[in-house]
């Protein structure tokens, strides 16, 4: 069996015992089980960042190959095309898209640089797994240089509807680039449908079956592979924090008070202002919860160099101030808003202490926090998950209270329903959710994806220029 070569925008730290974030955990586990190489940006911005400066390091059976970016590449590829064009548009925020031609040029050039960096290290039977929207043109750059490897792509974020995707500048080029892969994987069935519908309307691709197309003489597989978590590991972590005193305090307080929790990167796709408004609506509608319900929002800083992120941060600060100003008392504040990254063990513990997990993104490829919240619950006294219908996770987690995050009234009603939910119903919902999450875990995700990639047929290379 060939080595696995995983490529993502950033590499994680292979030397660390625990990785943060689903992508890093999934990739490291897959690499450790088959041996292989992880290629990605080092996270550093350097003046002399050409492909020949890539760093190679080996930990046990895994090699990491890191690429550095110049100031301009960081600006135009990462902040520019990836995070000002693809991220907002794929999350249905065309209004926040900021397209410039130099972004697309640089995006293609950085993908070429990744290809140049990887090629000298490739063996003939390597299996290449490319992750996410930063690297859509990577296969086409590798093919241009003669690679006939099996190359798979997995999109961690949503694939938008036809109308939205066709509004993205250079969408035709992105489509041609995607069609250079042998397997194109998405999180949900809905993403697959959107992509197939787009291909039917905008390409000559011939559908041999719902998930297999023929295009320019090549076969390309398309599928949904919902990413999972290691539920057992996350549950264990929720008991590992040495902050036992706080746990007891929070747990006891749940007798009279309860905590509603959310944890997200501070991103406009996560629906934080709408969620705060929904919590305000809940307090407005049910004043008996004043002094009893607390909403804890952990918002880890993200992409602070992009204006839209600074704007949302200011909006949240204003909203928190307004709600707390209106309702806080000497010994209670309705919203606790923490705008920093907190340790993973602490996050797990806080999930376990919270009666309600309020996960209401406006759009999300999957949303791992929803799965982590369930994994952290205590089976005897489980909390309730309120989940946006626009999170990919909603396709699987049917026993959550599914809501429309734009409808603050509906979300407020769901908080109320959760607050009074009988224990029996809580346990039934939790039982179904934890089985789903444990059965469809991170291991299954990578196994199914890699099995599908190993079984595709490869043939003559094709290329698509920018
Ligand atoms: C993308 C897609 C898809 C959050 N705050 C803290 C913290 N986190 C951790 C969570 C979770 C991870 O970060 C976030 O994962 P999500 O899936 O919720 O969201 P994205 O970062 O947007 O991820 C998403 C995912 O890729 C995987 O395919 O599900 O749809 O957008 O693990 O727990 N971790 C720590 N401190 C924090 O403050 N340590």
Residues 219 and 166 reside in one and the same domain:
yes
- Give the pLDDT confidence of 9-65 residue by residue, as tens digits: 988 776 665 555 557 766 777 787 778 999 999 888 987 767 667 888 888 888 999
> How many domains is the chain partitioned into structurally?
2
Q: Tell whether ligand 1 has an atom less than 6 A from the beta carbon of residue 415.
A: no
Residues 214 and 91 reside in one and the same domain:
yes
Residues 196 and 49 reside in one and the same domain:
yes
User: What average pLDDT does the chain have?
Assistant: 91
Mean of the pLDDT values across residues 373-394? 96
Tell me if 341 is assigned to some domain.
Answer: yes
Residues 206 and 240 reside in one and the same domain:
no
Tell me if 466 is assigned to some domain.
Answer: no
CA 341 – ligand 1 centroid, Å: 11
Q: What is the pLDDT of residue 464?
A: 45
pLDDT band at residue 461 using 50, 70 and 90 as cut-offs: very low
- Give the pLDDT confidence of 346-378 residue by residue, as tens digits: 899 999 989 999 999 999 999 999 999 999 999
CA 368 to mean position of chain CA atoms: 7
Tell me if 153 is assigned to some domain.
Answer: yes
Residues 187 and 53 reside in one and the same domain:
yes
Tell me if residue 267 is catalytic: no
With 70 as the cut, is the pLDDT of residue 111 above it?
yes
With 50 as the cut, is the pLDDT of residue 135 above it?
yes
Q: Tell whether ligand 1 has an atom less than 6 A from the beta carbon of residue 300.
A: yes
Q: Is the dihedral of CA 128, 130, 135, 137 positive or negative?
A: positive
Residues 294 and 168 reside in one and the same domain:
no
Residues 235 and 181 reside in one and the same domain:
no
Residues 57 and 186 reside in one and the same domain:
yes
Region of poorest pLDDT, from 38-42, 43-47, 181-185, 427-431:
43-47
Tell me if residue 239 is catalytic: no
Q: What is the pLDDT of residue 22?
A: 59
Tell me if 115 is assigned to some domain.
Answer: yes
With 60 as the cut, is the pLDDT of residue 298 above it?
yes
Q: Tell whether ligand 1 has an atom less than 6 A from the beta carbon of residue 356.
A: no
Range of the domain at 375: 231-439
Q: Determine the residue of 368, 388, 397 to mutate for testing ligand 1's pocket, defined as the one with the most ligand atoms within 8 A of the Cβ atom.
A: 368
Tell me if 305 is assigned to some domain.
Answer: yes
Q: What is the pLDDT of residue 309?
A: 87
Tell me if 84 is assigned to some domain.
Answer: yes
CA 23 – ligand 1 centroid, Å: 9
Q: Tell whether ligand 1 has an atom less than 6 A from the beta carbon of residue 239.
A: no
ipTM above 0.85, yes or no: yes
- Give the pLDDT confidence of 154-179 residue by residue, as tens digits: 999 999 999 999 999 999 999 999 99
Residue entry with tokens 């929904």: 278
Residues 189 and 204 reside in one and the same domain:
yes
Q: Tell whether ligand 1 has an atom less than 6 A from the beta carbon of residue 341.
A: yes
CA 262 – ligand 1 centroid, Å: 11
- Give the pLDDT confidence of 263-278 residue by residue, as tens digits: 999 999 999 999 999 9
Residues 56 and 155 reside in one and the same domain:
yes
Tell me if 409 is assigned to some domain.
Answer: yes
Residues 251 and 368 reside in one and the same domain:
yes
91, 156, 182, 264: the catalytic one is 156
Residues 201 and 238 reside in one and the same domain:
no
Q: What is the pLDDT of residue 303?
A: 85
Three-state secondary structure readout of the chain = CCCEEEEEEECCCCCCCCCCCHHHHHHHHHHHHHCEEEEEEEEEECCCCCHHHCEEEEECCEEEEEEEECHHHHHHHHHHHHHHHHHHHHCCCHHHCCCCHHHHHHHHHHHHHHHHHHHHHCCCCCEEEEECHHHCCHHHHHHHCCCCCEEEEECCCCCCCHHHHCCCCCHHHHHHHHCCCCEEEECCHHHHHHHHHHHHHHCCCEEEECCEEEECCEEEEEEECCCCCCHHHHHHHCCCCCCHHHHHHHHHHCCCCEEEEEEEECCHHHCHHHHHHHHHHHHHHCHHHCCCEEEEEEEECCCCCCHHHHHHHHHHHHHHHHHHHHHCECCECCEEEECCCCCHHHHHHHHHHCCEEEECCCCECCCHHHHHHHHCCCCCCCCEEEEECCEHHHHCCCCCEEECCCCHHHHHHHHHHHHCCCHHHHHHHHHHHHHHHHHCCHHHHHHHHHHHHHCCCCCCCCCCCC
Q: What is the pLDDT of residue 174?
A: 98
Q: Tell whether ligand 1 has an atom less than 6 A from the beta carbon of residue 348.
A: no
With 80 as the cut, is the pLDDT of residue 121 above it?
yes
Task: List 38's β-bridge partners, or say none.
Answer: 6, 64
Provide the CATH number for the domain around residue 42: 3.40.50.2000
- What are the strands of the beta sheet with 293-300, ordered from one edge? 335-338, 293-300, 258-265, 356-359, 384-388, 401-403
pTM of the predicted structure, to 2 decimals: 0.95
């Amino acid at each position: 069996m060939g080595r696995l070569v995983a490529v993502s925008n950033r590499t994680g730290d292979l030397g660390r015992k625990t990785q943060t974030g689903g992508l890093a955990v999934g990739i490291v586990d897959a690499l450790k089980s088959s041996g292989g190489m992880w290629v990605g940006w080092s996270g550093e911005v350097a003046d002399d960042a050409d492909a020949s400066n890539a760093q190679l390091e080996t930990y046990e059976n895994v090699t990491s190959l890191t690429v550095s970016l110049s100031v301009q590449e960081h600006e135009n590829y990462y902040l520019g095309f990836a995070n000002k064009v693809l991220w907002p548009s794929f999350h249905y925020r065309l209004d926040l898209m900021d397209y410039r031609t130099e972004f697309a040029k640089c995006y293609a050039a950085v993908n070429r640089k990744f290809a140049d960096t990887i090629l000298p290290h490739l063996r003939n039977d390597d299996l290449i797994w490319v992750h996410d929207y930063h690297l859509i043109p990577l296969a086409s750059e590798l093919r241009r240089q003669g690679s006939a490897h099996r190359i798979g792509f997995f999109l961690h974020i949503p694939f938008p509807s036809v109308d939205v995707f066709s509004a993205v500048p250079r969408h035709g080029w992105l489509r041609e680039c995607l069609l250079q892969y042998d397997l194109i994987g998405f999180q949900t069935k809905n993403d697959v449908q959107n992509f197939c519908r787009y291909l039917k309307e905008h390409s000559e691709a011939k559908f041999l079956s719902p998930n297999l197309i023929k295009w320019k003489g090549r076969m390309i597989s398309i599928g949904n592979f919902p990413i999972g978590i290691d539920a057992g590991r996350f549950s264990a972590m929720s008991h590992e924090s040495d902050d036992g005193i706080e746990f007891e305090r929070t747990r006891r307080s749940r007798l009279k008070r309860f905590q509603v929790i959310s944890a997200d990167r501070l991103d406009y796709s996560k629906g934080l202002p709408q969620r705060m408004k929904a919590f305000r609506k809940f307090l407005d509608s049910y004043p008996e919860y004043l002094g009893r319900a607390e909403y804890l929002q952990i918002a880890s800083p993200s992409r602070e160099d992009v204006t839209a992120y600074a704007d949302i941060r200011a909006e949240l600060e204003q909203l928190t101030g307004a709600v707390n100003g209106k309702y806080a008392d000497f010994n209670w504040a309705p919203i606790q808003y923490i705008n920093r990254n907190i340790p993973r063990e602490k996050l797990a513990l806080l999930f376990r202490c919270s009666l309600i997990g309020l996960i209401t993104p406006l759009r999300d490829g999957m949303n791992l926090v929803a799965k982590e919240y369930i994994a952290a619950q205590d089976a005897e006294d489980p909390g309730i998950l309120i989940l946006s219908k626009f999170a990919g996770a909603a396709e699987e987690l049917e026993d959550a209270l599914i809501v429309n995050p734009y409808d603050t009234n509906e979300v407020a009603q769901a908080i109320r329903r959760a607050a009074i939910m009988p224990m029996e119903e809580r346990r039934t919902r939790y039982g179904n959710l934890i089985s789903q999450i444990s059965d469809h875990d991170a291991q299954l995700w990578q196994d199914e994806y890699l099995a599908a990639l190993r079984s595709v047929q490869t043939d003559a290379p094709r290329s698509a220029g920018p």
